[in-house]
């Protein structure tokens, strides 16, 4: 009896080696512990007391800035429902997007993040806040993009301190963009290639995608 690999091998029309999904994580190295946050709120921003209310104001300002950006550029803002498949929503909006590149839409989802919580205590006549890293549920913003070089991508930004960022790219989509620019014909799959006029050229393109 044939195994799965043998059955699939009979259906393969093209085989290339390529990076697939790529995640880039961004963070602020000086906002990872409570003491750094206190310094950020007092020394950097010039506040006398490192109050949680200060972070609330910054979060509200960020949310308003995103809304203003969406309104000014006529970009749809979508609130994801719990359990909703974000890829399916993105596919619907990407089908309607006709520009060469830009922000397709902005998604908003409340998700868990490793952030900070403050505990208030009194020290004589003064109020002191002790900060510690804890798990919280806060809004995350997904900026779904169409890029000339990388095709479909998104940038995920946490709206609350320490403002973590994740960038999602796809190696297959990058290779497709390079084929378009080189004028090489191909048939596409959702996440790969069905056929290509120049398989060797496609592999050479895939080999170019690296850390640099």
The verdict on 67 and 13 lying in the same domain is no
The verdict on 58 and 20 lying in the same domain is no
100 three-state secondary structure: coil
The verdict on 12 and 33 lying in the same domain is no
Q: What is the pTM of this model?
A: 0.87
The verdict on 53 and 117 lying in the same domain is yes
Helix (H) or strand (E) holding 56: helix 52-73
pLDDT level of residue 6 (50, 70, 90 thresholds): low
Distance separating alpha carbons of residues 31 and 28, to the nearest angstrom:
6
Residues spanned by the domain of 61: 28-163
What is the structure's pLDDT at 144? 98
Average pLDDT over residues 18-26: 94
130, 34 in Cβ contact below 8 A? yes
Given its phi and psi angles, is residue 203 left (phi above 0), alpha (psi -120 to 50 degrees) or beta? alpha
Mean pLDDT of all residues in the chain? 91
Q: Provide the greatest CA pair distance for the chain.
A: 81
pLDDT above 70 (res 24):
yes
The verdict on 36 and 54 lying in the same domain is yes
* Cα of 122 vs its chain's centroid, Å: 40
Sign of CA dihedral 89, 92, 97, 101: positive
The verdict on 159 and 193 lying in the same domain is no
Model confidence over 176-211: pLDDT tens digits?
A: 999 999 999 999 988 889 899 999 999 999 999 988
The verdict on 35 and 139 lying in the same domain is yes
The verdict on 60 and 152 lying in the same domain is yes
The tally of domains found in the chain comes to 2
* Percent of the chain's residues with pLDDT above 70: 95
Distance separating alpha carbons of residues 62 and 78, to the nearest angstrom:
17
What is the structure's pLDDT at 141? 98
What is the structure's pLDDT at 71? 98
58 three-state secondary structure: helix
The verdict on 149 and 193 lying in the same domain is no
* Cα of 117 vs its chain's centroid, Å: 24
The verdict on 92 and 191 lying in the same domain is no
Distance separating alpha carbons of residues 192 and 16, to the nearest angstrom:
9
The verdict on 48 and 108 lying in the same domain is yes
34, 191 in Cβ contact below 8 A? no
The verdict on 96 and 174 lying in the same domain is no
């Amino acid at each position: 009896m044939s195994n799965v690999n043998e059955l699939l091998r009979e259906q393969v029309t093209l085989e290339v080696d390529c990076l697939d999904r790529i995640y880039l994580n961004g963070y602020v190295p000086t906002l990872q512990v409570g003491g750094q946050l206190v310094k950020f709120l007092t020394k950097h921003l010039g506040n006398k007391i490192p109050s949680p209310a200060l972070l609330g104001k910054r979060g509200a300002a960020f949310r308003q800035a995103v809304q203003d950006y969406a309104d000014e550029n006529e970009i749809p803002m979508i609130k994801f429902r719990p359990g909703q498949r974000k890829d399916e929503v993105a596919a619907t909006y990407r089908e309607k997007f006709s520009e060469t590149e830009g922000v397709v839409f902005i998604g908003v989802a409340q998700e868990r993040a490793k952030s900070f919580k403050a505990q208030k205590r009194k020290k004589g006549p003064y109020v002191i806040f002790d900060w510690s890293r804890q798990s919280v549920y806060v809004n995350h913003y997904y900026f779904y993009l169409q890029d000339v070089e990388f095709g479909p991508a998104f940038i995920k930004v946490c709206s609350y301190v320490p403002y973590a960022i994740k960038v999602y790219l796809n190696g297959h989509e990058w290779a497709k963009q390079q084929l378009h620019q080189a004028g090489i014909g191909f048939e596409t799959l959702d996440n790969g290639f069905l056929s290509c006029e120049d398989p060797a050229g496609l592999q050479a393109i895939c080999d170019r995608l690296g850390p640099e």
